[in-house]
Structure 1
Amino acid sequence: MRYVAAPPQPPVPVIDSRPLAIALMGPTASGKTALAVEWAERLGSEIVSVDSALVYRGLDIGAAKPEPELRVRAPHRLIDIRDPHETYSAAEFAADALREMQALSAGGKPPLLVGGTGLYFRALLDGLSEMPEADAGVRERLREEAAERGWAALHAELLRLDPIAGARIHATDPQRITRALEVHRLSGRPISDWQQAKAHRSFPFRVLKLVLAPADRAVLHERIERRFDAMLAQGFLDEVRRLRADSRLHEDLPAIRAVGYRQAWRHLDGETDATTFRGQAIAATRQLAKRQYTWLRGELDARWFDPFGQRDALEQALRTFLTRP
């Protein structure tokens, strides 16, 4: 008897049954909010803010917080959830954002993740390392050392102990210098080791990652400058004066280190004149956008679009994502 081999069977398609979510990423001033509000209205959904400045109450004009009328059209979650003297970690954000996403999805609403804070996106979508938790005693000792020796000396210490983290963290970033040295003192291991050992996990949503980035960087620079001048006209400096009236606030807090606020704080201290302040704030915002581009280029599964010249392609990407099995 002769046996005939059965013809090969086509592979069974794997259906991803996870609920859907859309991530609108991009540098500051790239038009994310306007598009997100439009899409949220159309989809009957809501926006989950992925912005480390918008979590703070009182940071409104300088943080480009969506106007109340926009939040009526498209509710925003994770805005105004902390006072500016409080801290808010990426791990807290990841837990809060996932909870909000699950609540929206349970109501049949695909969540829209919108913002430009790369650390928050990474914490949510990729997970964080299981490194030591914050220790108030160690942090206080580091603050005392900084007051005595200066942050430049602590950054030099970090470069010696952890060259990878030291090269990545700027010498004028006391929060990240503190965290890196804190982890090393608590564990005896560089923070970069903990970060590289991060366990990968499967995220419980199928996420469409879209990057809004003008093809011509000059367009973004012009938008940044125009937006900052509009902030000044809207009373940004008065907003910072109100913050300065709170005795709990100082320049080293994460909220006050937000782009624009730090420069305004120093200007109101008398360190700069109005022209210098404006130039420094715009330059700092451009540097923020440059760092955001660097982070976004590492998001290999994200699709890039010029928000002002490829609107039809953006719409097609959304339709395809929402209708494919």
Structure 2
Amino acid sequence: MSVMSGRVAVLIAGPTASGKSALALGMAAERGAVIVNADAMQVYDTLAVVTARPGAADLARAEHRLYGFVPAAVRFSTGRWLDAVAEAIAETEGRPLIFVGGTGLYFDALLNGFAEIPQVPEAVALEVQQEIQALDAGERLALLQREDPETAARLKVADPQRVIRALAVKRATGQTISSFQDAPRASMLESWKIERLVLDPDRDVLRARIARRFEAMFESGAVEEVEAILAQHIDPSLPAMKAIGVPEITDWLAGRLSREEALRLAITATHQYAKRQRTWFRNRMGDWPRQ
């Protein structure tokens, strides 16, 4: 998938609460640019506060694309995000684009192309999920080795989501996921002028920001959003149901946690997520300028 243009794209990556949105807003105002979401959780509707989507004041300052446009009941993918990016590129007619977010895979796919893996029927994925839910890591890997030894050999850890994805693709298409991943790929931004930046604030500063932000979320609509998404009775395995804050607030609402425990666990989960993001950016974006 390639969109030729010669346009300018600014890519701002960074861990959660690192100040990416504020920086993007300032740049957009200076350049007349459009801000494009590159965060896998901020694509979902219902969870504006929980996922820290731009608020009304931010939306009024600059045009934003790909925020809150996917129903929470949908299992959205990187490939579908790229399709949406292609539409945004076509509709913004030559204006600079600022991609901002914390999902490293989105940036990797944008710059290096992405394997065009066929959409797997939800029923197949659910069947595989039910089949492996009682298996430990060794048993999951053994199952994958029997059906797709090539992909099994590539996995460092047989985490459930990767195993489900690989088995579902194999059963739905008859081909291994590796065969799709190894197909030639092209960057969507092949002819663009690209500026890259990773925000990398001090760890203690980031921890303090995360704590303040989650405390504010609990007071400004996060609880109501979780009540709204629970009212939809959607599959708890869907990505939107696993957004940090949703499981913790769900347990508080059900009486399994106190408010203080839910807040503490959500903050801890966010710290752990930020650490994983930093590791990705360090390993995969080591040559990007830091700020």
Give, in angstroms, the shift of residue 151 of structure 1.
Answer: 7.3
1:205 paired to 2:206: no
Q: Do residues 91 (structure 1) and 79 (structure 2) align?
A: yes
State the match for 2:222 in structure 1: 236
Following superposition, the deviation at residue 103 of structure 1 comes to: 3.0
Partner residue of 2:263?
278
**Aligned equivalents of 2:87 and 2:69: distance in 1?**
14
- In 2, the alpha carbon distance for the partners of 1:300 and 1:43 equals 27
Contact kept, 8 Å, 1:210 with 1:304, in 2: the verdict is yes
Other-structure match for 1:287: 272
Partner Cα distance (1:164, 1:268) in 2:
42
In structure 2, list runs of 5 or more residues that go unmatched.
none
Which range is displaced more, 179-188 or 252-261? 179-188
TM-score normalised by structure 2 residue count: 0.85
Partner of 1:255: 240
The structure having more radius of gyration, on CA atoms, is: 1
1:118 deviates by: 1.4
> Aligned-pair distance for 1:90?
0.6
Residue in structure 1 matched with residue 203 of structure 2 by the alignment: 217
* Aligned pair partner of 1:269 in 249, 254, 260: 254
Q: Is the 8 A contact 1:61 1:235 kept in 2?
A: yes
**CA distance in structure 1 between the partners assigned to 2:175 and 2:164 by the alignment:** 15
- Deviation of 1:66 (Å): 0.8
1:119 equivalent to 2:108? Answer no
Tell me how far 1:278 sits from its aligned partner: 1.6
Cα deviation for residue 154 of structure 1 reads: 6.6
How many angstroms does 1:182 deviate by? 1.5
Q: How far apart, in 1, do the equivalents of 2:120 and 2:47 lie?
A: 25
- Aligned equivalent of 1:182: 168
The amino acid across from 1:167 in the alignment is K
Partner residue of 2:156?
167
Aligned 1:26-41 pairs, distance under 5 A: 26-41=14-29
* 8 Å contact kept, 1:61–1:236: yes
Q: Please, which moves more after superposition, 198-207 or 154-163?
A: 154-163
State the AA in 1 paired with 2:63.
Answer: P
Unaligned 5+ runs, structure 1 = 1-16, 306-325
Over the matched positions of the two proteins, sequence identity in percent amounts to 35
**Using a 3 Å threshold, how does the CA distance of structure 1 residues 198 and 158 change in structure 2: closer, same or farther?**
farther
Equivalent residue, structure 1, for 2:45: 57
**Matched residue, 1:129:** 115
Q: Which has the higher contact order (CA 8 A, sep 6+)?
A: 2
Deviations 1:184-218 (A, max 9, x none): 445676645653x252424242211111111x211
2:116, 2:180 within 8 Å by CA — same for their partners in 1?
yes
State the AA in 2 paired with 1:103.
E
Alignment-mate amino acid for residue 34 of structure 1: A
Q: What is the alpha-carbon distance in structure 1 between the residues aligned to residue 6 and residue 141 of structure 2?
A: 46
Read off the aligned partner of 1:236 and give its amino acid letter. Answer: A
- Is 1:67 the counterpart of 2:52 in the alignment? no
Question: Displacement, 1:47?
Answer: 0.4
* Alignment CA distance shift 1:169-1:36 (3 Å): farther
State the 1:290 CA deviation.
Answer: 1.3
CA-based RMSD:
2.6
Could you list the per-position Cα deviations for residues 43-79 of structure 1 after superposition, in whole angstroms to 9, with x for gaps in the alignment? 1121011111111111111110111111010121011
The verdict on how the C-alpha distance between 1:240 and 1:167 changes in structure 2, with shifts beyond 3 A counting, is: same
Residues 132-171 of structure 1 aligned to structure 2 (within 5 Å): 132-146=118-132, 149=134, 155-157=140-142, 160=145, 161=149, 162-163=151-152, 166-168=155-157, 170-171=159-160
Decide whether the 8 Å contact of 2:226 with 2:246 is kept in 1.
Answer: yes
Distance 1:111 1:35 in 2: 13
